[in-house]
Amino acid sequence: MSFTIAIDGPAASGKGTIARALARHFGFAHLDTGLLYRAVGAKGGDPVAAARALAPEDLARDDLRSAEAGQAASRVAAIPEVRAALVEFQRRFARSEPGAVLDGRDIGTVICPEAELKLYVTASDAVRARRRALELGADEARILVELRERDARDAARDVAPMRPAEDALLLDTTEMSIDEAVARAIACAKEAGA
């Protein structure tokens, strides 16, 4: 039987780093679901057609981690038909053996509401902006504005808004090192039976 870990939260909260570490630790498959939306946004053209035709090689593009791709992802993720085209792919992936870790914004609420463990990873706006600015070599003040715009858009969308699942464990990484955050997430997964 597979074990699914659903990790949600806003950009630059540490959810991707934690998800990759959990997948390595437990030998689980990992899917950064944001890459699906980034790839759809980066393809351009009709986003619904792009989502329906998404191929694995589309997830390997070098430009998917850019700020522009992140903004495009947030815009196309608000389109119900795009979300519907990508839901089944994510749900099949979530039942990979022996387990899977998926990170995104609606994993615990929409994609995998039956996940054995749900984490909602967050951090203060200022810390998230600093992290993303260091990652991208960008202006921290500009990144802060963009993160807040994206958070507002992701939380306000009609379909699958970003919010913690009712049974999600909150992991605030504002004052945690990467090692501390990963250790806490591993402990939560072990307590849940991973």
For residue range 6-25, what is the model confidence (pLDDT) as tens digits?
Answer: 999 998 999 999 999 999 99
Which distant-in-sequence residues (6+ apart) come within 8 Å of 28 by Cβ?
3, 5, 22, 96, 98, 99, 100, 101
**Confidence class of residue 158 from pLDDT cuts 50, 70 and 90?**
confident
DSSP string, 142-168: HHHHHHHHHHHHHHH-SSS-S---TTP
What total number of domains does the chain contain? 1
Q: Tens digits of per-residue pLDDT, 46-98?
A: 999 999 998 878 888 889 988 888 888 888 988 999 989 999 889 988 999 99
Residue pair 121/171 in contact (Cβ under 8 Å)? The answer is: yes
51 torsion bin: left (phi>0), alpha (psi -120 to 50), beta (else): alpha
Q: Where residue 155 sits, what CATH number does that domain have?
A: 3.40.50.300
Prior bond of 98 cis (ω within 30°):
yes
Q: Give residue-wise pLDDT tens across range 57-67.
A: 888 888 998 88
Of residues 48 and 34, more confidently modeled? 48
Rg of the chain over Cα atoms, rounded to whole angstroms, equals 16
Tally of CA atoms within 13 A in the half-sphere of 63 that contains its CB: 11
pTM of the model: 0.85
CA distances from 62 to 39, 53, 70, 125 (A): 10, 19, 13, 26
What percentage of the chain has pLDDT greater than the value 70? 100
Phi, psi of 121 (to 5 degrees): -95, 130
Retrieve residue 44's tokens. 């351009």
Question: Can you say how many angstroms the Cα of residue 8 is from the centroid of all Cα atoms in its chain?
Answer: 6
Q: Which residues are known binding-site members for ATP?
A: 9-17
Q: Which residues are annotated as a binding site?
A: 9-17
Q: How many residues does the chain have?
A: 194
Structural domain span for residue 103:
3-191
